[in-house]
Amino acid sequence: MSTLSLNRRHPLDFVFAVLMVLAAGFAFSRYGAHMDYYEQGILAGVTTGLIWFGWFWPAMRWFLPAAGVLALIATAAYGNDLSRAQHAFLLKYLLASQSAVMWMCVLYVMSTITYWFGMLRRSETALGIASGMSWTAALAALTALLVRWYESYLIGADVGHIPVSNLYEVFILFCLITTLMYLYYEARFKARSMGAFVLLVISAAVGFILWYSLDRQAHEIQPLIPALQSWWMKIHVPANFIGYGAFSLAAMLGVAQLLVSRNVLATRLPTYETLGDVMYKAITVGFLFFTIATILGAAWAADAWGGYWSWDPKETWALIVWLNYAAWLHVRLVKGWRGNVLAWWAVVGLLVTTFAFIGVNMFLSGLHSYGGL
């Protein structure tokens, strides 16, 4: 991995940094009056983080500006009239948040099918097309979230909020984060065939999005309930979903590793060791961000409810998830474990994580019951 020191930066890195600063300045000039000091701090922190991200992963130098440009085109098409989403061609068929989400869903399903075709036929051309569709789907996802954020403020200043407040929104975020993490490892390890497995879990999320939006009309923007009217939500939820995305990616690579160990698709997938290495790196990243999210959640709880920990079912299961992956990393790093046992553990870990994320909301009640289905 190339160093991030200034004396080794490419000129395009500084162009990207300037673009991010200008974008932050534009956001502040337009919405700064509605930001408190905490939100201004978040804006500065996010800007710095995005600059680092673009320097760390050059693909972000085009991906992030492209999403920003598409979002700006959409906001310009809206003006101050939300009803234009129903009759303006660009919004109705492409850039309104719901339109972008539908494109995202279609592209993810097509990408999954194409990854499998490319893997089974050993076609690098098909795998390249699948990778391109995944990039486009991720671009649609980020654009959809940015435009939805703007749409919420068109409804009313008291309604506007960052779109990470309900299951519909966070599943889009999950698709985006999991895809970007996968695409990074795909490029780093030159192993596109992994996408056949990773895109399965993303397509499952797409299925949930479609069901949830059609059956529950969840795509409709609603005001935040009082418990979510906090700046903590803006940092706690994204950090959480980096963890969820990483754990999901690791689990699907665990499935691939188990198949390779039984000589199933072994000649069509990366080596057993490569799959194990990527799985380990993903869990390491996921554990780091899930730890950060848990700390942020405790701070949010103290701010909202007066205590850092209450053994609420959601908190308890978050601790179980944390302990599960802490133990996974311990036995790998300290005890030297390798092989199928860790792959099975990663797969079971996804089941534990899924219950902590969705199952608790469905079957248990508590302070987090507002997140139910």
**Confidence at residue 371, expressed as pLDDT on a 0 to 100 scale:** 53
**Local confidence band at 217 (pLDDT 50, 70, 90 cut-offs):** confident
What are 40-72's pLDDT values in tens digits? 888 999 999 999 999 999 999 999 999 999 999
Assess if residue 1 is contained within a domain: no
* Co-location of 52 and 74 in the same domain: no
* DSSP string for 50-82: HHHHHHHSTTHHHHHHHHHHHHHHHHHHHTT-G
Measured between alpha carbons, how far is residue 281 from residues 30, 96, 250 in Å?
Answer: 39, 36, 8
* Co-location of 191 and 121 in the same domain: yes
Assess if residue 169 is contained within a domain: yes
Assess if residue 24 is contained within a domain: yes
Contact indicator for 142, 111 with CB cutoff of 8 Å: no
* Co-location of 105 and 192 in the same domain: yes
Count the domains in the chain: 3
* Co-location of 289 and 203 in the same domain: no
Other CB atoms within 10 Å distance of the CB of residue 219: 19
Residue that is last in its domain, among 167, 197, 224 = 224
* Co-location of 166 and 85 in the same domain: yes
**Confidence at residue 363, expressed as pLDDT on a 0 to 100 scale:** 74
* Co-location of 35 and 157 in the same domain: no
- Radius of gyration of the CA atoms of the chain, in A: 21
Assess if residue 235 is contained within a domain: no
Assess if residue 229 is contained within a domain: no
* Co-location of 213 and 188 in the same domain: yes
Contacting residues for 54 by C-beta, under 8 A, at least 6 apart? 13, 16, 17, 20, 60, 61, 64
Assess if residue 255 is contained within a domain: yes
Assess if residue 61 is contained within a domain: no
Other CB atoms within 10 Å distance of the CB of residue 309: 13
Residue that is last in its domain, among 178, 196, 224 = 224
Q: Is the pLDDT of residue 116 over 80?
A: yes
* Co-location of 131 and 171 in the same domain: yes
Q: Is the pLDDT of residue 229 over 60?
A: yes
* Co-location of 194 and 309 in the same domain: no
Assess if residue 351 is contained within a domain: yes
* Co-location of 46 and 78 in the same domain: no
* Co-location of 262 and 191 in the same domain: no
What are 74-93's pLDDT values in tens digits? 999 999 999 999 999 999 99
Range of the domain at 168: 70-224
* 173/302: higher pLDDT: 173
* Co-location of 317 and 248 in the same domain: yes
What are 256-311's pLDDT values in tens digits? 999 999 999 999 999 999 999 999 999 999 999 999 999 999 998 888 778 888 88
Residue that is last in its domain, among 192, 224, 256 = 224
**Confidence at residue 158, expressed as pLDDT on a 0 to 100 scale:** 85
Distance between CA atoms of residues 255 and 177, nearest Å: 20
Q: For the chain, what's the residue count?
A: 373
Q: Is the pLDDT of residue 34 over 90?
A: no
**Confidence at residue 66, expressed as pLDDT on a 0 to 100 scale:** 97
